[in-house]
A and B are shown apart, each in its own frame.
Chain A
């Protein structure tokens, strides 16, 4: 096992930031290539006329899932060391709602607003300003929001844990459902045009 590289001490914090920058730029470049810097394209998701966002998300989920699973099987990656973000039910439901409202209104999410700025779109700039205003307001009001922020901690949850289905079977189900959902998305798009 030689990965995850950072967790196993292959490089330090400063190198990890440089690597994060490179991965971030590559991520942004691919998002832009996929048309994710365009608010109209993203808004199409909500009107079911353009399901590119859905397809990109599902592709990413399935690629990462199969990659992690098979790299572990090949002895390259130690799966138990991969960081799984913990769940806080109430703050994440509320945060998801605020995020969703902002996404529908602005047509961009935080990542794609940065992508939009890179191609000179002013709406991206406006959204990024809003994002920093939100971060500032959250930081200043944190003492008031703290009780909500720390409410309903559920620990680290995974699908095998929640459903009791074994991990490899979850991988198979997600892969098959993902491909089916992808086909369904294309069918919905074709029907709309």
Chain B
């Protein structure tokens, strides 16, 4: 049996084919590739933003915003079973997995929350990187709402403390809460700090 030897001039090496495909895909990019670079801030900018604490909103401030009818979109990023059991008033349930696909009105201030703040931070990162400018995170999530609005415990020894207590108590009662005078709970907001640590990691090559 004889096998016809390929003519030298027609022989195509694997490397040659790959090089040709690379050049074709590269040259086609500016011709039919469009302009895909739709980009929000980078991770280091977001890390600094998160470390500054600016994206966080405490439960009392959020409660005042809701009471005062500020244009808000409050997004509960927990799953629907947790949302049915308890949710922050006026919140809409958009589980984390659906954040990317749900239509979100970015002209309103977005406030994200979850059980304790972790998934909300991830959701905030996602929305900010997709270019939503006004996104905030409810500090400590549902726990923050319960501790801060529904069952606030605040000292009222000094005039400043009394003024703060009056402010919190008024909002708390508006939402059916039970404000109490007592020693303040320690602040245990860690979700944002953890997220900053996560973002501060440097790549490993």
- List A residues at the B interface (Cβ < 8 Å): 1, 7-10, 62, 66, 69-70, 72-73, 78-81, 83-86, 110-111, 153, 155-156, 160, 166-169, 171-176, 178-179, 182-183
Contact = CB atoms under 8 A, between A and B. Distances in A.
B30 A86 contact: no
18 contacts: A7-B126, A9-B96, A9-B99, A66-B25, A69-B29, A78-B100, A79-B36, A81-B130, A84-B42, A86-B202, A110-B205, A156-B43, A160-B37, A169-B30, A171-B33, A172-B30, A178-B22, A179-B23
Given A85-B203, A111-B205, A155-B44, A80 B39 contact: yes
Nearest to A95: B202
Given A62-B22, A81-B129, A178-B22, A73 B36 contact: yes
Nearest to A173: B26
Nearest to B126: A7
B35 A167 contact: yes
B27 A175 contact: yes
B44 A86 contact: yes
Contact of A174 (B26, B36, B39, B45): B26
A18 B22 CA distance: 31
Contact of A80 (B25, B30, B38): B38
A110 B203 CA distance: 13
Contacts of B40: 80
B157 interface: no
Contacts of A182: 19
Interface of B: 19, 22-23, 25-27, 29-30, 33-40, 42-45, 96-97, 99-100, 122, 126, 129-131, 202-203, 205
A68 B32 CA distance: 15
A188 to B, nearest CB: 16
Task: Name, among B25, B29, B100, the residue most crowded by chain A CB atoms within 10 Å (CB to CB).
Answer: B29
A166 B34 CA distance: 10
B45 A168 contact: no
3 cross-chain pairs, A with B, having the tightest CB-CB distances, nearest first: A175-B26, A156-B42, A86-B44
Contacts of A9: 96-97, 99, 122
Contact of B131 (A80, A111, A156): A80
A99 B22 CA distance: 31
Contacts of B126: 7-8, 81
Contacts of B202: 85-86
Contacts of A111: 205
A168 B29 contact: yes
Nearest to A109: B205
